[in-house]
């Protein structure tokens, strides 16, 4: 398995709104845990996440992976991710954040994807009211508490 080629295909599929190609990078029972939208299980749901959920309120995606590290079973990579928001309050702003992709690999495919991201700058770029940002972070905190297995990824 060529990790660099897989990560390039991963990013290209998102940028090209190609959910089918993106989902093919995952095992049949793969799960993508999105920092905003939650878990999507199976290739059909993962493809839907890209083709519908990601592009529902955004366009012009850019995703770059940096400094990947893998032992063949786990893959970690820093990333930068940005898009142009179509939400009315964002006024067409370009939103960017950084994070770490955490992948479990099986048979050359992604079995599970998690991410840890600094989303606060994106919410400011989106012109979200402080109360809305507080509700989002409270929801993310509750979701993390409900998944204690993520603690191992966060140190």
Task: State which residues of the chain have pLDDT below 50.
Answer: 150-155
How high is the pLDDT of residue 152?
44
Q: What is the pLDDT of residues 101-110, one digit of tens each?
A: 999 999 999 9
Full set of structural domains in the chain with CATH: 3-154 (3.10.450.50)
d(C-alpha 101, C-alpha 120), whole Å: 17
Strands (E), 38-147: 38-41, 58-70, 74-85, 94-106, 109-118
d(C-alpha 94, C-alpha 58), whole Å: 9
* DSSP element (H, E) containing 141: helix 130-145
Instruction: Burial-class residue 5 by CB neighbours within 10 Å (0-12, 13-18, 19+).
Output: exposed
This prediction's pTM: 0.82
d(C-alpha 152, C-alpha 105), whole Å: 17
How high is the pLDDT of residue 26?
98
How high is the pLDDT of residue 79?
96
Instruction: Burial-class residue 1 by CB neighbours within 10 Å (0-12, 13-18, 19+).
Output: exposed
Max distance between CA atoms of the chain, in angstroms, equals: 45
How high is the pLDDT of residue 130?
64
């Amino acid at each position: 398995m060529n990790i660099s080629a897989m990560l390039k295909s991963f990013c290209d599929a998102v940028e090209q709104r190609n959910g089918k190609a993106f989902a093919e990078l995952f095992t049949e029972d793969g799960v993508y845990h999105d920092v905003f939208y939650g878990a999507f299980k199976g290739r059909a749901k993962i493809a839907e996440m890209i083709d519908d959920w990601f592009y529902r309120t955004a366009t012009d995606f850019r995703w770059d992976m940096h400094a990947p590290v893998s032992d063949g079973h786990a893959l970690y990579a820093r990333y930068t991710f940005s898009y142009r928001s179509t939400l009315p309050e964002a006024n067409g702003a370009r939103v960017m954040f950084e994070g770490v992709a955490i992948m479990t690999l099986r048979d050359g495919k992604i079995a599970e994807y998690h991410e840890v991201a600094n989303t606060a700058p994106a919410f400011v770029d989106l012109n979200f009211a402080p109360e809305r940002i507080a509700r989002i972070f409270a929801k993310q905190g509750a979701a993390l508490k409900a998944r204690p297995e993520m603690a191992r990824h966060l140190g």
